[in-house]
Amino acid sequence: MRLSSPNLTHNCLKIALFTLSLLLISLNAPLAQDAETAPDTAVTIEQAVDSANVAPLPAVNVMVADLPNDKGGAVLVSWELSPDDDGNGKVSGYLVQRSESKDGPFETAGNAVRGATKFTDNKTDDDKVYFYKVAAYFEYLDAAEEKIRITSAATVTGPVQSSAQWFNMNRLYVLLFMLFVAGAIIFYIEKAKKGDEIYIRKIAGIDAVDEAVGRATEMGKKIFYIPGIQDMNDVQTIASIAILGRVAQMAAEYDTWLEVPVSKSMVLVTAREAMKEAYTKVGRPDALQDAQVHYLTDDQFGYAAAIDGMIVREKPATIFYMGAFFAESLILAETGNSVGAIQIAGTAQPAQLPFFVAACDYTLIGEELFAASAYLSREPRQLGSLKGQDMGKGLFILCIIVGVILATLNVWDMSVIFASK
């Protein structure tokens, strides 16, 4: 046992020294880390404080004016950049202050970022006079992570008063365009009233109306006219009723049964009046029966199912789909196609046009639906309006082509004349 005692003592001493070494390392490591990072942090704060010792130079040539082309209640404040606003971080932004007196007190109207030279104060009263100051400022965080702002000197600028303008001159080109369209419409209406020929491109679907009604007359079968599923507040339904008047007039002349199932009560009343007027024009008001225009249901697919049943049972010779249609369009058109009816459709719903094109014999695409009433009636006001609008569209297309060319050649961005400011 005496032989092992020195070895045991030696081993215990080694363990004690090793434990003490680990303890010293663990205690010294944070101190070393603090000694390494503290100078950098101190330098960063010290640099910020050194930069803030001198306030940035103020903005120069500060000007105030009523914001032009507006409805009032706004003042435009403009200035030239501070000499210290050179991208090196000496300027954090600009402080815009406002007062109703030259001597103050001034309140903050808003802030502008560095590099900005304008600020619009949208919170003014038109019956008050204002004075403004614009100061450049520098911001930094101190050692306690609190934001410190050093602001430059600022001179008082004013007085200024906001006011409303009668016209927005930034929209002058839009006004000129509207005047051109209005003038073209009036010109062509007067021309049509004088009996001059006004050319309108042929619309195949409308030219086929005579053929479709004639076929139904020869076969002794009915004509169905579906005016869409929207109410009379929809422009497509209004156009549909206008076309219905022309179809009803031809049906009355040929003594062919024209049936109009509707899904809205207002459409029911309007369609009956249109039918009554058409039958009266050809001298056959007594031939019109109330059963020719009847109500089915407001439900979208209930309406489609009811019409499908009528088509399958009665197998009409001709079917018109004119107006606003949605998911029921293909259901109706496919059923009509299955019984061999001549189908003429027209809608301004882009998503439904492919279904009508695939299942119908003729389709009025988009604006052809609205042009159809003028095309059929040849009424001077409708013809003149249609032709005048086409002239406006032609001018607009020309502007687009010229604008694209100028923009491509980097000559001028023509779109700025139509920008809303």
Same domain, yes or no: 216 and 313: yes
- Number of DSSP helices (H) and strands (E) in the chain, helices first: 11, 14
Residues 228-245: what's their mean pLDDT? 93
In a domain, 406, yes or no: no
Instruction: At 255, give phi and psi (nearest 5°).
Output: 55, 50
The encoded tokens of residue 279 equal: 């039958």
String of DSSP letters for 367-407:
THHHHHHHHHH--HHHHHHHHHHHHHHHHHHHHHHHHHHHH
Please state the φ and ψ torsions of residue 226, each to the nearest 5 degrees: -105, 110
- Report the 10 Å Cβ neighbour count for 273: 13
List pLDDT tens digits, range 210-227.
Answer: 899 999 999 999 999 999
CA-only gyration radius of the chain, Å = 41
What pLDDT band is residue 14 in, cutting at 50, 70 and 90? low
In a domain, 345, yes or no: yes
Sequence-distant (≥ 6) Cβ neighbours of residue 373 within 8 angstroms = 239, 242, 243, 246, 382
* pLDDT exceeds cutoff 60 at 277: yes
pLDDT digits (tens, 9 = 90+) for 174-187: 889 999 999 999 99
Core vs surface per residue 367-385: b (16+ CB within 10 A) or e: ebbbbbbbbbbeebebbbb
Does residue 372 fall inside a structural domain? no
Instruction: Provide the 8-state DSSP code for 101.
Output: S
Residue 38 lies in a domain: no
Confidence (pLDDT) at 378: 80
| 192-214 pLDDT tens trace | 999 888 888 888 888 888 899 99
> For residue 51, is pLDDT > 60?
no
Is the confidence at residue 47, as pLDDT, over 50? no
Q: Is residue 384 part of a domain?
A: no
Does residue 9 belong to any structural domain of this protein? Answer: no
* pLDDT above 70 (res 49): no
Lowest mean pLDDT among 264-273, 322-331, 403-412: 403-412
Closest among 235, 234, 236, 258 to 246, alpha carbons compared? 258
Find the mean pLDDT for residues 237-241. 93
Asked if residue 216 lies in contact with residue 223, where contact means CB atoms within 8 angstroms, the answer is yes
pLDDT confidence of 91, banded at 50, 70, 90? very high
Same domain? For 139 and 221 the reply is no
Lowest mean pLDDT: which of 4-8, 111-115, 159-163, 285-289?
A: 4-8
112, 228: one domain: no
Give the E-state strand segments of 122-252 in sequence order: 130-141, 147-151, 157-160, 223-226
* pLDDT confidence of residue 10: 54
Question: Do 352 and 219 share a domain, yes or no?
Answer: yes
Amino acid in the structure at residue 213 = V
Rounded to whole angstroms, the Cα distance separating 176 from 93 reads 41
Statement: residue 420 has pLDDT above 80: no
Residue 318: which CATH number?
3.40.50
Domain boundary among 360, 388, 414: 360
| Structural domain count, the chain | 2
Is the per-residue pLDDT at 260 higher than 50?
Answer: yes
pLDDT given at position 217: 93
- Is 418 part of any domain? no
Structural domain including 255 reads: 209-360
Asked if 316 and 216 count as a contact pair (C-beta separation under 8 A), the reply is yes
Answer with the residue of higher pLDDT: 45 or 257: 257
CB 74 within 8 A of CB 120: yes
Same domain, 356 and 256: yes
Do 350 and 214 reside in the same domain of the chain? yes
Instruction: Read off the pTM.
Output: 0.63
Q: Does residue 342 share a domain with residue 226?
A: yes
Same domain, residue pair 333 and 221: yes
Tell whether 132 and 229 lie within a shared domain. Answer: no
Q: Which of 97, 128, 160 is the last residue of a domain?
A: 160
| CATH number for the domain that contains residue 79 | 2.60.40.10
In a domain, 247, yes or no: yes
Mean pLDDT of 14-39: 46
Using the 3D structure, point to which of 92, 126, 160 is the last residue of a domain: 160
